Amino acid sequence: MTETTPTPPTDGPSIAPPPNGSTTSQPPRHPFYTLPAELIFDIIDLLPPDAFINFAFANYPFLHTHGLVPALSQPRVNYITNQTQISSMFPLLRLPAEILLHILHNLKPIDIMRFVVANYQDLSRQGIAPPLTAEMVKQLQGAVQSDWAPG
């Protein structure tokens, strides 16, 4: 008769080796991404516009699947990422950033991001839209997929 040794209890979930003998694994996802959509919507509704804009650019594909940010075309991503200087045709953009953020506060998240995506360069110069990091550009490039449909 073979005696088995009981395993000691652990403080968290055990990490199983990756399948198929692979030695690499993906880092664990933050628990935020596993929350129900309704709770994510409630959290996002509490964010001020500037915080939501920063969060949206850092998590674009995730928010797109929930219908909180607009779909992106490749020309629009090029406009956002290439620092294209297009003259402002919309007089609202000449308002001080504080007033513009106050106006954005009254919009739904999807409408905030529609406005930001359409006017990214001007809003970036005003400090409302974030400067893009390499990871943010990667997120935006990953969001250009015609088969994505909001959640």
CA dihedral 65, 67, 71, 77 (to 10 degrees): -80
Q: How many Cα atoms within 13 Å fall on the side-chain side of residue 84?
A: 14
Helix (H, G, I), strand (E, B) or coil at 44: helix
C-alpha 19/C-alpha 117 separation (Å) is 40
Tokens (6 digits) for 149:
């449909």
pLDDT tens digits, 72-122: 888 888 888 886 665 555 555 678 889 999 999 999 999 999 999 888 888
Question: Apex CA 146: angle with CA 77 and CA 33, to 5°?
Answer: 80
pLDDT tens digits, 120-151: 888 888 889 998 888 888 888 878 864 444 44
Number of H helices, E strands in the chain: 8, 0
Query: What does the pLDDT read at residue 82?
Result: 81
Query: What does the pLDDT read at residue 121?
Result: 83
Q: Which domain holds residue 73?
A: 48-142
Residue 99 included in any domain: yes
Residue 119 included in any domain: yes
pLDDT tens digits, 3-62: 554 444 444 333 344 444 444 445 557 788 888 889 989 999 999 999 999 999 888 888
Query: What does the pLDDT read at residue 61?
Result: 86
Q: Is the pTM of this model over 0.75?
A: no
Query: What does the pLDDT read at residue 29?
Result: 75
Q: How many domains does the chain have?
A: 1
